[in-house]
A and B are shown apart, each in its own frame.
Chain A
């Protein structure tokens, strides 16, 4: 999956200044080498928040203006970098989320697609900014990134992106760029066989949301609505 992501990152119409892959002490070996990609290795498995902060530190040291995040199981549209960075450049939003589509064809994938499981959430009622954007399709301006790093106390890939969005929204807004597209591969092969994975995924999210709930005390979950194809373009934008 990672090779597929790197291929899509290298074939962007607007090239990235840096592509940073952070290996969070994965047991899997990456058989892919490219001098256009910077590989950073964590000393121990520390979770995605810590890994992303390592990548951020490297990019800050190299004076980048915009910081885009994605996951190994994603495939980027060729215009993704151009759309994300130009959105950040031309708007006052401190951060941006793009449109996430599902890659697979099972019923479970279809569900995630219309459920917007890994898409962002509109902030209600106006839908002019995002309540939250998962970090698989997320970007921040330099000063926002400096001010709001990921909270490394989140040990797994769940909740750390909600937390960072809630914190940064105390000061900045998160915009939505529907033309910045990527596809996320949940890895389902078959609806029946992968049903237990589907259940476990939401159990993990529930666990992380309970943590975020206690951290923020007040749930703002319900003042938002997930984005899917049917509501990605808002007439009042």
Chain B
């Protein structure tokens, strides 16, 4: 494995190479204060740029820096019918569902580099046995884990073991009022889930977190959720509404938090229920990233991540100024829940 690439399908277009070149050269040329030196300096800069781009270097491989988050959408299936989300409308078929062993292999390959593995969905706890296997493995590999769940399938036995493993559980709560809750979930499960949240707080302590989506529909509910969390000593995070193919709307006056920050989601390695690998679950908004980078059931994850296209997509993501930059991937983990 190396950064030596061959020409293959999905190779970046020449226009992207030119764009990359100009992106380096133009700002540099502006630094040259003597007009007669512009050409020789641009020549030298072109040499440097070419070396960084084309020089095929043997590399020494070693690992040990925890800079990545591995996010596994374990399933698109969900018991809830939240109108904010449309993922549950397209559940994967049984033959599209990745066997958990493939993901565990992927976790083992990457664990030196992971500061966190996150399980999301759909509802991850529909696959409670698989989730627990991953949680056990993550513990052995010393990788902190986070599950984002709707809380329906929590039980005492699961919570106690999960607590022993030291991982974090995030439950999505957009209202603490029964009628609104049931409307937001598309299911009348307030009386089922609420006691489980209290149980989870009791068992997990501060390893339980609550996350709410700030949308036009929830704007008046969020303060009540915050108050609920404060009362029960639960850390809380608000995420600005994103398009998950649902029916909710942006809150009035919502704007991008930061237009200039390079997208930190480049650090992410995202896995679909069928094992497809992408850098970001919103990858279809980037033409070069539309197709998955590979599939962990068929290829080694390191090989997938070291592909030329993966690198090019990372470069593009630094300037893709999309709304999804408001999501939690762009925030430092210790700043998320307060």
A219 touches B31 (CB 8 A): no
B41 touches A219 (CB 8 A): no
A217 touches B67 (CB 8 A): yes
- Expressed in whole angstroms, the minimum distance between the Cβ of B152 and any Cβ of chain A is 34
Give CA–CA (A215, B64) in the complex, Å: 7
A114 touches B51 (CB 8 A): no
Give CA–CA (A121, B261) in the complex, Å: 16
B57 touches A207 (CB 8 A): yes
Stretch of B170-178, B236-244, B310-318 that contacts chain A:
B310-318
Q: Verify if B282 is at the interface (C-beta below 8 Å from A).
A: no
Give CA–CA (A196, B177) in the complex, Å: 72
A222 touches B318 (CB 8 A): yes
Q: Verify if A189 is at the interface (C-beta below 8 Å from B).
A: no
Q: Verify if A107 is at the interface (C-beta below 8 Å from B).
A: yes
Closest to A117 in B: B48
A198 touches B44 (CB 8 A): yes
Q: Verify if A43 is at the interface (C-beta below 8 Å from B).
A: no
Give the residues in chain B near A220, CB-CB below 8 Å. Answer: 266
Within 8 A of B (CB), among A93-113: 107-108, 110-111
B62 touches A111 (CB 8 A): no
B44 touches A211 (CB 8 A): no
- Expressed in whole angstroms, the minimum distance between the Cβ of B116 and any Cβ of chain A is 12
Give CA–CA (A98, B261) in the complex, Å: 25
Give the residues in chain A near B67, CB-CB below 8 Å. Answer: 166, 170, 216-218
Give CA–CA (A155, B58) in the complex, Å: 14
A228 touches B31 (CB 8 A): yes
Give the residues in chain A near B318, CB-CB below 8 Å. Answer: 222-223
Closest to B279 in A: A218
- Per-residue CB proximity of A183-202 to B under 8 Å, as 1/0? 00000000000000011001
Interface of A, secondary structure class, is helix
A216 touches B51 (CB 8 A): no
B51 touches A210 (CB 8 A): no
B40 touches A203 (CB 8 A): no
B62 touches A114 (CB 8 A): no
Give the residues in chain A near B68, CB-CB below 8 Å. Answer: 217-218
- Expressed in whole angstroms, the minimum distance between the Cβ of B156 and any Cβ of chain A is 35
Give CA–CA (A207, B51) in the complex, Å: 10
Within 8 A of A (CB), among B49-74: 51-52, 55, 57-68
Which of A153, A210, A219 has its CB near the most chain B CB atoms (within 10 A)? A210
Q: Verify if A206 is at the interface (C-beta below 8 Å from B).
A: yes
Q: Verify if A58 is at the interface (C-beta below 8 Å from B).
A: no
Closest to B45 in A: A115
Give the residues in chain B near A219, CB-CB below 8 Å. Answer: 266, 311, 314-315
- Per-residue CB proximity of B21-55 to A under 8 Å, as 1/0? 00000011001110001001100110110011001
Instruction: Report, as a range, how many residues of chain B touch the other chain.
Output: 35 or more
Give the residues in chain A near B63, CB-CB below 8 Å. Answer: 214-215
Q: Verify if B306 is at the interface (C-beta below 8 Å from A).
A: yes
Q: Verify if B288 is at the interface (C-beta below 8 Å from A).
A: no
Q: Verify if A209 is at the interface (C-beta below 8 Å from B).
A: yes
Within 8 A of A (CB), among B1-35: 1-3, 27-28, 31-33
A115 touches B48 (CB 8 A): yes
Which of A153, A155, A223 has its CB near the most chain B CB atoms (within 10 A)? A223
A124 touches B262 (CB 8 A): yes
Q: Verify if B305 is at the interface (C-beta below 8 Å from A).
A: yes
Q: How many A-B residue pairs have CB under 8 A?
A: 105
- Contacts A108-B44, A114-B41, A115-B45 hold; do A167 and B51 have CB atoms under 8 A apart? no
- Expressed in whole angstroms, the minimum distance between the Cβ of B326 and any Cβ of chain A is 16
Give the residues in chain B near A213, CB-CB below 8 Å. Answer: 3
A167 touches B65 (CB 8 A): yes
B266 touches A218 (CB 8 A): yes
Give the residues in chain A near B163, CB-CB below 8 Å. Answer: none
- Expressed in whole angstroms, the minimum distance between the Cβ of B191 and any Cβ of chain A is 43
Closest to B261 in A: A125
Q: Verify if B161 is at the interface (C-beta below 8 Å from A).
A: no
Within 8 A of A (CB), among B227-243: none
A222 touches B51 (CB 8 A): no
B44 touches A111 (CB 8 A): yes
Q: Verify if B295 is at the interface (C-beta below 8 Å from A).
A: no
Q: Verify if A230 is at the interface (C-beta below 8 Å from B).
A: yes
- Expressed in whole angstroms, the minimum distance between the Cβ of B8 and any Cβ of chain A is 19
A166 touches B65 (CB 8 A): yes
A223 touches B262 (CB 8 A): yes
- Expressed in whole angstroms, the minimum distance between the Cβ of A234 and any Cβ of chain B is 14
- Expressed in whole angstroms, the minimum distance between the Cβ of B139 and any Cβ of chain A is 21
- Expressed in whole angstroms, the minimum distance between the Cβ of B54 and any Cβ of chain A is 9
Closest to B28 in A: A115
Give the residues in chain B near A216, CB-CB below 8 Å. Answer: 65, 67, 113
Give the residues in chain B near A23, CB-CB below 8 Å. Answer: none
- Expressed in whole angstroms, the minimum distance between the Cβ of B51 and any Cβ of chain A is 5
- Contacts A214-B61, A216-B65 hold; do A202 and B51 have CB atoms under 8 A apart? yes
16 A–B contact pairs at CB < 8 A?
A107-B40, A110-B37, A124-B262, A125-B261, A198-B44, A202-B52, A207-B58, A211-B59, A214-B59, A214-B61, A216-B113, A217-B65, A217-B267, A218-B266, A219-B311, A230-B31
Given A107-B40, A124-B262, 11 other A-B residues pairs in contact with their CB atoms under 8 A: A107-B37, A111-B45, A210-B3, A211-B60, A214-B59, A215-B64, A218-B266, A222-B315, A222-B318, A223-B262, A230-B31
